[in-house]
Amino acid sequence: MFITQDKICFGDYDAIVVGCGFSGAVVSRELADRGRRVLIIEEKAEIGGMMSDYYDENGICIHKYGPHVFMLNSDDVRSYLERFCTLVPVTNYVHAYIEGKYVSIPTNFYSLDALYGTEKSKALQEKLIAMYGEGSEVHILTMRNSEDPEIRALADEIYQKIFVGYNAKMWGLKPEELDPSVPGRLPIRVAYNNKNCKKKYELIPEGGYSKLFRQITDSQNIDILLNTKAGSLLTLRDNAVFMNGAPYEGIVVYTAPLDELFSYADGKLPYRSLHFETEVYQGKREAPSAVTTFPMEFDKVRTTDMVELLDQKVEGFVANVSEYPGAYDKDSEKFHVPAYPVLNDDSSVIIQKYRALADQVRNFYYVGRLAEFKYFDMEASIDSALKCSEEIMKGVSSDV
Ligand SMILES: Cc1cc2nc3c(=O)[nH]c(=O)nc-3n(C[C@H](O)[C@H](O)[C@H](O)COP(=O)(O)OP(=O)(O)OC[C@H]3O[C@@H](n4cnc5c(N)ncnc54)[C@H](O)[C@@H]3O)c2cc1C
């Protein structure tokens, strides 16, 4: 399974896959199951991408790069995962910590109760129901443009207390400067509805994500080279791929940032990064739910108690993973992980240029949240990787 560079003959592989998150692992397995020999090149010391986890000395599972829960609508993606693991249902809630209060997120009637007390909350609720209909979801910016001064004032307060601080910290941008697909723009719910997950299934893999990745990549046709940056081996010339300086005729599947591959020729793609701090202690959690966001704190955006999130049967422990955002810089000590693409007009021009360059490279496919420069959750990543695999197999089926 794991291989060292001195044992590698690149010509022995039908495909080289860069990165071993879901995008890389799923494509590798699909190709391997169809008889292709695959080499995965991963820069980290472990597989699993952003999903990588470990068990600490207390037996507590910790997500190394922030909390990950499958929120799925697709039965196909669920069935795919169940080939490799048992999926366990969980239900998670989120609160924002604002001026000493825990306020339910996404904003809903529970949040109004916490912010304003039941009497004022009731009056606002009646007005919201009359204006937008019970059970509806209203975008904060729609409410801010309302003709009713009380609704405008409510929207402004929620906007200031919950959205502005979060977005300024998370993205370094104002909410209206962001592409509508970014996750920070959550609706206001006209109901007592504090469910965080709106999809059909909320699941985690039994035994953790790293175990799941070991299962996915467990094929005699897959070798994995860790601790290796693709750029140290893979170069492009005349729209062809070279491995260690020699022409490579096989398939290349690239799941890392495209700007890096093209030596930033058309500019740097902006990513937000996160720095993670983990604190495990014996005691009781103060927050009412596993996940707490901190819109009004200077630098921290979110803390997740991994014990509660994963419903772990370890009595008396809290295992907090806290996230601190900053601008991505691959040479930064704290912010070297590209976490979220910053989607705006400038970045969309840059990524289109890199896509055009990548499209010209022979036998070259790019897939995943980094290479496609999209906000992909795990479901979208797996789906995209399965589609990419189909496309590759169509392209090579003539020479099978
Ligand atoms: C903090 C956080 C929390 C999240 N929580 C959830 C959640 O709860 N639910 C959900 O569905 N989604 C969640 N996501 C999204 C999820 O992480 C992505 O959908 C997933 O990582 C996509 O997988 P990927 O393979 O495309 O990318 P990645 O997981 O990033 O994998 C890319 C891999 O490529 C490697 N790589 C990069 N550059 C190179 C290089 N030059 N050479 C070699 N290897 C390289 C990286 O080390 C990495 O292993 C979260 C994301 C973040 C940032």
What average pLDDT does the segment 146-152 reach? Answer: 94
pLDDT at 184 over 60: no
pLDDT in tens, 222-248: 999 999 999 999 999 999 999 999 999
Q: What is the pLDDT of residue 186?
A: 66
Q: Residue 166: is it exposed, middle or buried by C-beta count within 10 angstroms (0-12/13-18/19+)?
A: buried
| Ligand 1 pocket, mutate which of 378, 387, 388, 389 (most atoms under 8 A from CB) | 378
Q: What percent of the chain has pLDDT over 70?
A: 96
Quick check: 17 pLDDT over 60? yes
User: Of 29, 64, 68, which is best to mutate to test ligand 1, by the most ligand atoms within 8 angstroms of its C-beta?
Assistant: 68
Residue burial 346-382, b: 16+ Cβ < 10 Å; e: rest: ebeebbeebeebbeebebbbbbbbbbbbeebbbbbbb
Residue 10 has pLDDT above 60, yes or no: yes
Q: What is the reported pLDDT for 185?
A: 58
Q: What separation in angstroms does the CA of 256 have from each of 20, 42, 337, 381?
A: 10, 10, 11, 13
Q: Work out the average pLDDT over 260-279.
A: 96
pLDDT at 150: 94
d(CA 245, CA 299): 44
**pLDDT digit string (tens) for 188-211?**
999 999 999 989 999 999 999 999
Report the SS3 class of residue 105.
Answer: strand
Distance from residue 147's CA to the centre of ligand 1 (Å): 42
Tokens at residue 45, please? 């010391």
Preceding peptide of 106 cis, ω within 30°:
yes
Lowest-confidence region among 53-67, 94-108, 172-186, 288-302: 172-186
pLDDT (average), residues 13-35: 98
Round the average pLDDT of the chain to a whole number and report it. 93
Q: Which residue has the higher pLDDT, 81 or 197?
A: 81
Q: What is the pLDDT of residue 216?
A: 98
Nearest CA residue ID for atom 26, ligand 1 = 368
Atom of ligand 1 nearest to the CA of 48: 49
Q: Is the pLDDT of residue 163 over 90?
A: no
81-to-18, 70, 84, 297 alpha-carbon distances in Å? 21, 10, 6, 37
pLDDT band at 176 (very low <50, low <70, confident <90, very high): low
The rounded distance, in Å, linking the Cα atoms of 275 and 191 is 35
Q: Is the pLDDT of residue 173 over 80?
A: no
Question: What ranges do the domains of the chain cover?
Answer: 5-47+217-268+342-399, 108-189
In this structure, are residues 214 and 47 in contact, taking their beta carbons and an 8 Å threshold?
yes
Name the CATH superfamily, with its identifier, for domain 5-47+217-268+342-399. Answer: NAD(P)-binding Rossmann-like Domain (3.40.50.720)
The ligand 1 site (C-beta within 6 Å) comprises: 18-24, 41-44, 49-50, 65-71, 229-231, 255-256, 260, 274, 339-340, 368-370, 376-379, 381
pLDDT given at position 399? 45
The enclosing H or E element of 171 equals: helix 165-171
What pLDDT, on the 0 to 100 scale, is given for residue 400? Answer: 40
Is 60 exceeded by the pLDDT of residue 397?
no
